[in-house]
């Protein structure tokens, strides 16, 4: 049984962070959708609002189709009004980088009262760019994204919206800085996923420092790390229980008071980062070895043996709803312990 939900504010002080539905992907029906393994009674968009309010969070992040498949204006308005009643902001999880698709999503975001639309560059995972054509293919893809974002940016500017391009285990900090500088619009910035720099062999704090001038949105994600002969596995854990240095990150985020941050626990499948394989580096531009030292130190200090499989990976999906919600509760508790003492970090 999933964690019980209330429809009004939590009695605890409101945390200055929100909830992204993709961090509870099984409970929300995204994982295994259309198969016998899917959640038998997934949360709907209003359930997510109630959950975020019960946990004392300040926002929800979700794709418009999760609210209403047809993006009916009346349905969007009703959802927006309920979110406002609960004191919750809305962040829109947007489409692929396509001008036509974005034109519609920006309109929907404005209807929902959102100020930020998050998007991703590609489906690349684990920093492995071979499926997209290696380094040459990635650079062509990045240039194409910049051209499309240059068309989308004026639409966002006209509506007073910001687009946050996420480091979705594909882009390095250099890639995102180049992208933002090439597009050259205040409406286009970065959604920082705090765990994903490890997939491209970058330290999360150093990554955040570099992209900070372009930061418009944050996904709070954490990983545990176990060493392998080829590199390391990144695997699911409560946020604050892994290797990401959240105190250092929140100190940086405090300098960006307009940035929203949402909890997004990791995917239910492990990520194997093969930094010791030459094929991995064939997809990346050369970097000074000194830039890799923080990650190499983490690799040397990584766990040697750990159960990295989630209930989804072991075939125990009957346990997964409770497991996922328990980890969400722990993530909120850890973030509350970190942020509550002095209210540092992000705006309420």
Which pLDDT tens digit goes with each residue over 136-193?
999 999 999 999 999 999 999 999 999 999 999 999 999 999 999 999 999 999 999 9
Percent share of the chain, pLDDT over 70: 94
Residue 122 neighbours by CB distance under 10 Å: 19
Which residue did the predictor score with more confidence, 259 or 8? Answer: 259
* CB 230 within 8 Å of CB 296: no
pTM of the complete model? 0.94
Q: What is the pLDDT of residue 344?
A: 45
Q: What is the mean pLDDT of the chain?
A: 94
Mean pLDDT, range 264-289, rounded to an integer: 96
What is the mean predicted confidence (pLDDT) over 16-27?
98
The pLDDT of residue 11: 52
pLDDT bin (cut points 50, 70, 90) of residue 345 is very low
- 7 band by pLDDT with thresholds 50, 70 and 90: very low
Cα angle at 210 between 228 and 219, to 5 degrees? 65
Residue 245: pLDDT above 50? yes
**Position 8 pLDDT exceeds 50:** no
For residue 263, give the nearest of 333, 163, 199, 159 by alpha carbon: 333
| CA 280/CA 135 separation, integer angstroms | 10
Please give the class, per CATH, of domain 18-339: alpha beta
% the chain with pLDDT above 90: 93
Cα 142 to its chain centre, rounded Å, is 20
Asked whether residue 1 carries a pLDDT value surpassing 60, the answer given is: no
Residue 347 has what pLDDT?
40
């Amino acid at each position: 049984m999933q964690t019980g939900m209330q429809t009004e504010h939590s009695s605890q002080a409101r945390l200055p962070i929100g909830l992204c539905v993709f961090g509870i992907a099984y409970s929300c029906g995204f994982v295994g959708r259309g198969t016998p393994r899917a959640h038998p009674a997934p949360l709907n968009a209003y359930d997510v609002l109630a959950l975020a309010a019960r946990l004392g969070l300040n926002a929800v992040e979700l794709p418009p189709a999760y609210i209403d498949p047809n993006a009916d204006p009346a349905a969007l308005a009703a959802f927006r009004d309920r979110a406002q009643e609960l004191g919750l902001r809305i962040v829109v999880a947007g489409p692929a980088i396509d001008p036509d698709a974005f034109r519609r999503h920006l309109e929907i975001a404005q209807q929902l009262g959102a100020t930020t639309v998050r998007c991703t560059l590609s489906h690349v995972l684990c920093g492995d760019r071979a499926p997209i054509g290696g380094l040459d293919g990635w650079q062509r893809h990045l240039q194409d994204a910049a051209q499309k974002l240059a068309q989308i940016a004026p639409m966002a500017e006209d509506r007073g919206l910001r687009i946050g391009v996420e480091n979705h285990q594909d882009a390095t900090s250099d890639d995102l800085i180049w992208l933002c500088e090439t597009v050259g619009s205040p409406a286009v910035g970065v959604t920082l996923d705090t765990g994903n720099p490890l997939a491209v062999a970058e330290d999360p704090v150093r990554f955040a420092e570099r992209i900070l001038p372009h930061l418009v949105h944050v996904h709070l994600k954490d990983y545990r790390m176990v060493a392998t002969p080829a590199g390391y596995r990144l695997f699911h854990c409560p946020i604050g229980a892994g290797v990401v240095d959240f105190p250092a990150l929140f100190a940086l985020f405090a300098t960006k008071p307009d940035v929203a941050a949402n909890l997004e626990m990791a995917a239910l499948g492990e990520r194997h980062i093969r930094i010791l394989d030459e094929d991995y580096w064939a997809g990346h531009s050369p970097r000074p070895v000194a830039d890799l030292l923080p990650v190499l130190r983490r690799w040397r200090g990584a766990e040697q043996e750990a159960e990295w499989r989630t209930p989804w990976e072991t075939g125990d999906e009957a346990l997964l709803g409770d497991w996922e919600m328990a980890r969400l509760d722990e993530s909120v508790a850890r973030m509350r312990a970190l942020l509550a003492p002095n209210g540092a970090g992000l705006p309420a």
